[in-house]
Structure 1
Amino acid sequence: MTETIRLAQVGIGYWGKNLLRNFAAIDGVEIAMACDQRESILAGVANQFPGVQTTSIYEDLLGSPDVDAIVIATETPQHAPLAEQALRAGKHVFVEKPMAQTSDDARTLVQLAADRDLRLMVGHLLLYHPAFRFVEDLVRGGGLGDVYYLYSQRVNLGIVRKQENAFESLAPHDISLALQFIDAAPVGVSANGAAYLQPGVQDVVFATIHFEGGKMANLHTSWLDPHKIRKVTVVGSRKMAVIDDVAASEKVRLYDKGVDVSRAGYADYVEAMTLRSGDINIPKITMTEPLRMECEHFVDCVRRGATPRSDGQNGLAVVEIMEAANKSLATGGILVPIRSGTD
């Protein structure tokens, strides 16, 4: 018989409603409690999920013996404080991205989870997206050759935030992918951006993550753009891949393109380079809802005591890069070294 996992969730806003819906649909999951500061939201939860206890007091979740794990889907500044309280109360934690706003806070969460043998998972949704998983498997199997660099665009008109800039709001997705696709340690970040709508809150950011061996990832994030683009391009020595999450179909295109270099017998190095432009392949990928897969993965990890794919260490690595990017933004785009989670 499948062990029932009893969940409580704090934060039932725009994204929190999607999380609650997916967790509630999983076999062997009981939504025990829901917490939000807005009475109208709680009334809606009670109507949609009869039997779920609702409260505006977070401590009710922490002290309940009927709660095994807490899902945190609040505004970003609350992520780390609420997650820390939950871990100290002995609860497994799913926390939306980013897990914290500082690497020190992220390290605290990682250490607490390890000390108490609790599952800590971060909502890096694209790590559970079938199209991105397909390309990741291709990269790990050598299908693209040596990955040189990647670049991403995550832009749209809105949603404009007040408590975080466009990079903090949007970049965690692509940072998590870059860490999976590039087989090298990140060493520094340089970033430039501008705030047009609110003082001190960048609406557009261009950031470059520098990795060992000269590899890099360039990220363009904005909530002030005429186009909705969710695209990642991965350039390898053998092939190149483009992932377009906005496309209704054909979300992945593989390009048999590259530059072949033959060093033997050539006096002129340029003459040793041959441009290669082959077929474009569109693989068939069976799509399932990434959020459902992410939620099921968390429940499975809690049930089996397994390490989540997007665990606290993965979340910490993302926060370290975001922290370095914000320091670079504040200092005119200088290259800021990344403070390693092992330091």
Structure 2
Amino acid sequence: MSIRIAVVGCGQWGRNHVRTLAEIGALAAVADADAARASDFASRFGVPARSLDELLADASIHGLVLAMPPRLHGETARRALRAGKHVLVEKPIALDPADAEATAAVARETGRHLMVGHVLRFHPVFERLDALVREGRIGTLRHIVSTRLGLGRFLGMDAVWDLAPHDLSLVLQVAGRPPESIETLRRTVLSDETDEAEIALDFGDGLTGSIRVSRVSAYRDRRFTAVGTKGMLVFDDLEAEGRKLAFHAHEVWRDGSSFGFRHADPEYLETEPGLPLDRELRDFLRAIATGKPVRTGAAEAVETVRILSQASPRG
């Protein structure tokens, strides 16, 4: 079966979905609140520009990718699910846990896939890091750190809701369970909402996590670190290919009433090639074709929104 997908929202990130689905050969149509923009993308990629109602009524379209303002995600996703469509929703799928759970409930009722666009979960470097942690390469996992710093993206929502979903999805995957407690330090710097934040997570049993996000940083930082009793793994997304994943065989040990440590040079590890968005969309298509679950499904989407709501309450 040839899977046909329409993209609703051709803005900053939706256009990447349009391009990638066209490359895969699964793009069926586009829609956007800006008719001129929809027409432009339709012309460029050789597909029709349609209204949302037209997409929902078209039985030949199997699924929708929603890349809209987050306040519209829940209602639109529920309409699409009830119309029999599978849905991939960009992060966050909602701005409060009740809205997220309502969408997940409709997905369960209709038997349709609901996938959240946590694209970095499909990054081959992250996948290798996650596998190495589970294999015991760094011993017992004790701490996880995710950093996302840069300048820009003032989109009418605070930095926690805009930036942290990426990092939170990675931390939750490696931790393997939701946190028991959350503490957040938020700062408004140059806009009217949170511009940077530090989120501390405690998973119990000696495992902790830390997420730092900022949109008012003079430099960019995209690092994810897993700290264990026998070393550390670092995924640096700004490094060159071949140097994005490093293993540091650092050691720390108790020496009487104090501690000793040994510093080790990084060992750069090989990883598979592949573009995260391409891999994410292919997982969505695979799930539709086979009926098997998507990797970043409704439960993960709801849990992420629940934690974000605790980390940065709105209103």
Normalised by the size of structure 1, how large is the TM-score?
Answer: 0.87
Q: Within 2, Cα distance between the matches of 1:211 and 1:85?
A: 36
Q: 2:9 aligns with which of 2, 8, 11?
A: 11
Query: Aligned-pair distance for 1:269?
Result: 4.5
Q: 1:35 aligns with which of 31, 38, 50?
A: 31
What do the CA deviations read for 1:293-313 (whole angstroms, capped 9, x no partner)? 111111011111111111111
> 2:80 aligned with 1:86, yes or no?
yes
* Contact 2:196–2:214 (Cα < 8 Å) also in 1: yes
> 2:118 aligned with 1:137, yes or no?
no
* Contact 2:146–2:171 (Cα < 8 Å) also in 1: no
- Corresponding position of 1:97: 91
Any idea what SS the aligned residue of 2:6 has?
strand
Q: Which has the larger radius of gyration?
A: 1
* Contact 1:184–1:213 (Cα < 8 Å) also in 2: no
* Contact 1:10–1:72 (Cα < 8 Å) also in 2: yes
What do the CA deviations read for 1:112-171 (whole angstroms, capped 9, x no partner)? 112221111111011100110110000111111111111121011112221x10111111
- Corresponding position of 2:112: 118
Query: Aligned-pair distance for 1:183?
Result: 3.7
- Corresponding position of 2:304: 318
Matched residue pairs, number? Answer: 314
Q: Within 1, Cα distance between the matches of 2:81 and 2:271?
A: 37
Q: 2:45 aligns with which of 44, 49, 62?
A: 49
> 2:165 aligned with 1:175, yes or no?
no
* Contact 1:184–1:212 (Cα < 8 Å) also in 2: no
- Corresponding position of 1:265: none
- 1:1-343 alignment to 2 at 5 Å? 3-27=1-25, 29=26, 31-50=27-46, 52-55=47-50, 57-162=51-156, 164-199=157-192, 201-249=193-241, 250-261=243-254, 269-270=256-257, 273-327=259-313
Query: Aligned-pair distance for 1:17?
Result: 0.7
Query: Aligned-pair distance for 1:278?
Result: 3.7
Q: Within 2, Cα distance between the matches of 1:218 and 1:9?
A: 34
* Contact 1:9–1:71 (Cα < 8 Å) also in 2: yes
Q: Runs of 5+ in structure 1 lacking a partner? A: 262-267, 331-343
What do the CA deviations read for 1:54-104 (whole angstroms, capped 9, x no partner)? 13x322211222211111011111111111111111110001011111111
Letter in 1 for 2:150: N
Normalised by the size of structure 2, how large is the TM-score?
Answer: 0.94
Query: Aligned-pair distance for 1:39?
Result: 2.2
* Contact 1:80–1:105 (Cα < 8 Å) also in 2: yes
Query: Aligned-pair distance for 1:33?
Result: 2.2
Any idea what SS the aligned residue of 2:303 has?
helix
Q: Within 1, Cα distance between the matches of 2:190 and 2:260?
A: 48
Identity %: 31
Letter in 2 for 1:316: V
What do the CA deviations read for 1:183-228 (whole angstroms, capped 9, x no partner)? 44311211111223333x1111111122122422111111111001
Any idea what SS the aligned residue of 2:249 has?
strand
Letter in 2 for 1:217: G
